[in-house]
Chain A
Amino acid sequence: MTAVEQPPASPPGAADGSEPRVATPEFEAAAVRQESRRGFLLALPAYAYLVLFFAVPLLIVIEYSFATRNRFGGTDLSGWNLDSYAKLAEPIVRDILFRSIWLAVLTTAICLLIGYPFAYYLATRSPVVRNVMLVFVMIPFWTNFLVRNYAWRVILGHDGPFTQTTEFLGLGEHEFLFTPTAVVLGLVYGFLPFMILPLYASIERIDARLLEASRDLYASGWQSFRHVLLPLSMPGVIAGSILCFVPSLGAYVTPEILGGAKTTLLGSYIVIQFLEARNWPVGAALSFVLMAIMLAATIVYFRKGGRTL
């Protein structure tokens, strides 16, 4: 009989693989456990951050939305009620809500109409041209958002380049600063890159031969777009639309700077509730409703997109 050398007995719990040993189910299980523990530890800072600065404040906002404003502009947290939500049905708040949704939808639609052809153009260029153009898309981010909005105020304002041009062309004096049009213009300008980038990413991944195949199968250019390119780029359309719609709906800076007092939107109204009217419960209720709308829109959009994919 040949003497078989026994593997050295493994010290219990030492699953670090530092010593070569014969594999056992225990070792494997310990290694798997260790791996998942390591994953959790890596994610821990992000978890902690989210809980501390997102989940907890959100719960506080919800709590405040059920509270009552007291006479001195403070908040009474003792008696929970739905008074603040009832206030949202008032015509003035309802108008602001609808106007905000309408402008956000309009902004998203315009971004999609402008962004899609551009993203397609970008995705079909040579890699060098692509990269250069992508840099151009992102250059605006190098300047502060606030500064860029003020720049629009100068451009659109009285005696600004825009009015001067329309006057020069004999179109009369067109000044649309402080109108909803100016707000939409500013929002489209601000959020267009958020539409273009996901669209580009999803169009770029589509196999060009699928478009050729559709043309070979008697599709016209439009049919090829409608039945192949668009459905296949739907993930980009969805991501881009959400990235445009959500910040447009809650926008504060752009409407404040370009919209003026006549076009109060949700973001501004919430700020007014907290800082000027000192009605925290109404502000909190509005914030919560705003988030609910965003969440609902996102879910609907994903569902709808999920079907076509």
Chain B
Amino acid sequence: MNAVELLGITKRFGDVVAVDNIDLAIADGEFFAMLGPSGCGKTTTLRMIAGLEFPTVGSLKIFGDEVGTLPPNKRPVNTVFQNYALFPHLNVIDNVVFGLKMQGVDKATARSRAAKLIELVQLSGLESRRPSQMSGGQQQRVALARALVNEPKVLLLDEPLGALDLKLRQEMQGELKTLQRELGVSFVFVTHDQEEALTMSDRIAVMHDGALLQVGSPEEIYERPANRFVADFIGQTNLLEGTVENQDTVCLTNGARVAASSAFGAGTPVAVSLRPERAHLVDQGAAAPGQSFVDGIVESVTYLGNARVYDVRLDWMKLEVREENRPGAMLREPGTAVSVAWEPSAVSVVGD
């Protein structure tokens, strides 16, 4: 059975359509990310699942039960809020115990369950601290314990790592993932950070302007983006504009024909998505047989340590090419004439 099921869910705020007719099913035990730029409707969708907003229309089920019109305290889900929303007047243990207390769980049981969760998130010894006396990472753990102590059927997380610095964020990513596997509960996770979504999730839903553009595993989303927006938003990419000539060929704007298989009909305007790390720089005319290539001139080089990123100027656009800094990798100075070459299987064709 699906943990969460959205069917034809729309949310309007006045004239603004925040979420536009979404169908979505999240499996039990899944680590599910909702990814998109700010204002795409991902947080609104999460809030609807939590019960903090009511859908304008549509069906919203949690483990088969219709919950769309229930208030948040009547739903078997809990939320880790952005910036945590810890109760500033309560210490750690009272924050964690809050949900159990509201449900009328007796004090002794509530305390021992809270103590267990505090241990799980490695905050033992800090029970009597106030949130204001804790670091961001510690507050994050309190927020997790406060939600998980209620044994929710689904845990909702709204940009839970957004307020942490890079190193701590990476650490917490791993911990969250481990925690989710141990508990076996579905985590639904809102983020605008595509790298975070790729690293952590079993599946990702990409949203834009209130619409659901693509749902799939990180590989599917990265390798076979459903459209131009997804290709551009997930990772870095070069979009070479053109039109479909036939199933295996796209004619680029400069007239060059490149091999790229697609299901679009001939004449459809498309873009060929070429990831910077999938392309290589070779001397002009030195592209291997079977490879596609375009000619250009190196405009600038950015040294990243583990790689160099080249900006290559073509006649009609600029391309970004990433060369790993392997032993023997040669530096191509700005001004050098080069060919950007790639295997035909390395690109994907995306439409609007």
Contact = CB atoms under 8 A, between A and B. Distances in A.
Contacts of B83: 209
A219 B102 contact: yes
A160 interface: no
A227 B83 CA distance: 20
A156 B289 CA distance: 102
Contacts of B99: 217-218
Given A217-B146, A232-B89, A223 B102 contact: yes
Contact of B102 (A212, A217, A232): A217
Contacts of B81: 209, 212-213, 216
Contacts of A217: 73, 78, 98-99, 102, 146-147, 150
Interface string A210-241: 10111111111001000110011000000000
A200 to B, nearest CB: 19
Interface in B34-86: 50-52, 71-73, 77-79, 81-83, 85-86
Interface in B86-138: 86-89, 98-99, 102-103
Contacts of A308: 89
Contacts of B51: 215-216
A127 to B, nearest CB: 17
B98 A227 contact: yes
Nearest to B152: A216
A213 B79 contact: yes
B88 A232 contact: yes
Interface residues of B, number: 24
B85 A212 contact: yes
A227 B73 CA distance: 15
Contacts of A213: 79, 81, 85-87
Contact of A215 (B71, B87, B147): B71
Interface in A260-287: none
A223 B78 CA distance: 17
A135 interface: no
Contacts of A212: 52, 72, 81, 85
A227 B100 CA distance: 13
A125 to B, nearest CB: 16
Contacts of B72: 212, 215-216
Given A209-B81, A223-B102, A215 B89 contact: no
A210 B85 contact: yes
Nearest to A228: B87
A104 B221 CA distance: 69
B88 A214 contact: no
B85 A209 contact: yes
Contact of A216 (B52, B82, B86, B103): B52
B35 to A, nearest CB: 22
Given A209-B81, A212-B52, A213-B79, A218 B102 contact: yes
Contacts of A219: 73, 98, 102
Contacts of B79: 213, 216
A19 interface: no
B19 to A, nearest CB: 18
Nearest to A308: B89
A309 interface: yes
Contacts of A5: none
Contacts of A227: 98, 102
A223 B89 CA distance: 15
Interface string A286-309: 000000000000000000000011
A212 B82 CA distance: 12
Contact of A207 (B50, B52, B85, B103): B85
Interface of A: 207, 209-210, 212-220, 223, 227-228, 231-232, 308-309
Interface of B: 50-52, 71-73, 77-79, 81-83, 85-89, 98-99, 102-103, 146-147, 150
Given A209-B81, A218-B103, A220-B73, 5 more contacts: A210-B85, A210-B87, A214-B102, A215-B73, A218-B102
14 contacts: A207-B85, A213-B87, A214-B98, A215-B51, A215-B73, A216-B51, A216-B73, A216-B78, A217-B102, A217-B150, A218-B99, A227-B98, A227-B102, A308-B89
| Closest 4 pairs (CB-CB, A-B) | A217-B99, A213-B85, A218-B102, A209-B85
